[in-house]
Amino acid sequence: MAEIVGKEALPFIPDDLSLPQFLLDVHHPSRPVRTKPQAWFIEETSGREIGLDEIRARTHGLANALKIRWNIGQDDVACLFSPNHVDYPVIIWAVHRLDGVVTTANPMYTSEELGYQLQLTKTRLLFVHPLALNAALDAARAAGLPQDRIVLLEPLPSSSCMNVHDLVKFGLRERQAYRERQLEPGEARTKLALLLFSSGTTGKPKAVMISHYALIANMLQVTQYVKPNDESVPLEQKRYRAGDVVLGALPMFHAYGLIMITFTGMFLGATVIVSPKFSLERMLLSIQQYRVTHLYLVPPQAILICKSPIMKGYDLSSIRFVGCGAAPVSPELTEQLSRTMPDPNALIGQAYGMTETATMITMPQLDKRTGTPGSAGFLLPGISARVVKADGSLAQFGELGELLLRSPAMALGYYNNPTATAETFVDGWLRTGDEVKIDERGEVFVVDRIKELIKVRAFQVAPSELEGLLFDHPDVSDVCVVAIPDDYSGELPFAFIVLRPDIQARVKGDLQESTKVKEGLTKYVSDHKTHFKWLAGVEFIDAIPKNPSGKLLRRVLREQARSMLKSGQLSIVAKVKL
């Protein structure tokens, strides 16, 4: 198996348009035509509907205000620090209208984590939800960002910060102060649109550089795969069509929620229900109230849907498609989801994507209700794949190896991190770090991660980030963080720690003191990191196994932890639920 290519050719991908120009201003032949009046966004909690004219007006008004008030322009970076909000895409497009760049931040970040992102990206303007304002103020001070460059997504009478609503009104009143630039042919391929953060094995999170062209390309890859305009398929049998309703409950700061659900959903003619925060009851109510047709999940949400007793009280008959991704989905979970959905023809599928490919790499088979157990689906059009074994040779069909990809939607690299870029983007290929196998039909099966990332409820956690923090604790001499399996979260971080000799002598033979030190270490992490990075537990060890060059033998401790977990020897702290 030398190379596998997505089965279909791609349509024309414009390389002289920005993202808002492509989504709001022009019509691509692949795009379904909305034949009936339809909202583009619906605010979940209020039911407020927002159409194209209002979106374009708000985008223009905000862009004009940003130009007049702060002279935002070419390559200036704005950071979005907020849960999902109907103005989230508007803010992105307004900055893009001004030739700027947007970086999105997890609203659960601590001020320390946000401050790092602001400094790395050289953020000039920070958009923040009032719920996250305190962390934003602390982070802005640490990053040297003046308070008058903080903009609230909602008015807050007790704050002197400006807000998006007032800025939009101001920008619509004033004469247009900006001139939107038309990109030169080919310029969109390298014109930076987004800096999305993805944790890496080298320590702190890395900023993935995504171009306008990559975003447009991935939307067209998905569209070509699902064929919404295929007239040979009866309307009632189409998996995607104009008039669909997508529930946007996954976070927009993440590539899955922003690019696949929001941007691609809109391009495919769907109404996106903007949900600020996931709760199972709220999700079920919205499915019923708005007649949601497409439901995108991560495995913990799928487990809740399959197991919660409150499911029987809601009508889910409108759902035609359930997609699950961001972490491997077991065949058993797929089968449970299939039994839960009332429509016997609803498609239940797993997909696979990465931030570094502007999201989607594979999609599920569309002519079956459920795909092959364990399959992540088929490569999208325009993607080439190789599977490389540990010895460097190419794997044959069914053999395991690391997945390498080429795609028109590939990121430009990691911002201000040439070392990580050179390690991941090699000779035009993206090293995914994922162990896969591909069968003769071209189905991709994601088996494990070669990278050392831990995925907690679809969020990536770098072991070295937690190790670096724990190294600073006065009781710690050496440390190794590994992933342990968890039915709810997929994986959780667990720390093996070598204590300083004096602390080691103090806890030896004293269970109470040992427990006290362990609790102190777990609290130390929870005080400094957002909750999905919290430790599931701590185990003391005499020495961390390493190879002759000093590299941690993480696999040895991971296997040891799983064995101890199975035998009941590990003590796990209570898990944080979604």
- Would you call 404 helix, strand, or coil by DSSP? strand
Counting runs of H as helices and runs of E as strands, what totals does the chain give?
17, 29
Question: What is the predicted pLDDT for the residue at 574?
Answer: 56
Is the pLDDT reported for residue 208 higher than 90? yes
Q: For residue 363, what are its two tokens?
A: 């999609």
Is the pLDDT reported for residue 549 higher than 90? no
Is 388:394 a contact under the CB 8 Å cutoff? Answer: yes
Question: What is the predicted pLDDT for the residue at 71?
Answer: 97
Q: Which of the residue ranges 149-163, 359-373, 419-433, 526-540 would you say has the lowest mean pLDDT?
A: 359-373
Confidence band, pLDDT 50/70/90 cuts, at residue 201: very low
Q: What does the alpha-carbon distance between residue 147 and residue 105 come to, in Å, rounded to a whole number?
A: 18
At a CB cut-off of 8 Å and minimum separation 6, what does 512 contact? none
Question: What is the predicted pLDDT for the residue at 1?
Answer: 61
Average pLDDT over residues 159-186: 96
- CA distances to 173, 323, 474, 479, 498 from 542, rounded to whole Å, are 68, 45, 17, 10, 6
Angle 558-561-562 (CA atoms, 0-180°, nearest 5)?
90
Average pLDDT over residues 209-218: 98
Question: What is the predicted pLDDT for the residue at 509?
Answer: 83
Nearest CA to 485 out of 563, 553, 430 is that of 563
Average pLDDT over residues 427-444: 91
Q: Which residues pair with 497 in a beta bridge?
A: 479, 540
Count of residues making up the chain: 578
Backbone angles phi, psi at 398, to 5 degrees: 85, -5
Higher per-residue confidence, 277 vs 405 = 405
Determine how many CB atoms are found less than 10 A away from the CB of residue 574. 6
Is the pLDDT reported for residue 550 higher than 60? no
Q: Which residues pair with 41 in a beta bridge?
A: 50, 272
List the domains of the chain with CATH numbers: 50-181 (3.40.50.980), 206-449 (3.40.50.12780), 454-567 (3.30.300.30)
Within 13 Å and on the Cβ side, how many CA atoms surround 105? 32
Element (H, E) at 296: strand 294-297
Question: What is the predicted pLDDT for the residue at 203?
Answer: 60
Is the pLDDT reported for residue 330 higher than 60? yes
Question: What is the predicted pLDDT for the residue at 124?
Answer: 97
Backbone dihedral region for residue 144 (phi beyond 0: left; psi -120 to 50: alpha; all else: beta): left
Quickly list DSSP for 2-34. Answer: --EE-SS------SS--HHIIIII---TTSPP-
Question: What is the predicted pLDDT for the residue at 202?
Answer: 45
Q: What does the alpha-carbon distance between residue 84 and residue 20 come to, in Å, rounded to a whole number?
A: 19
Backbone angles phi, psi at 317, to 5 degrees: -70, -15
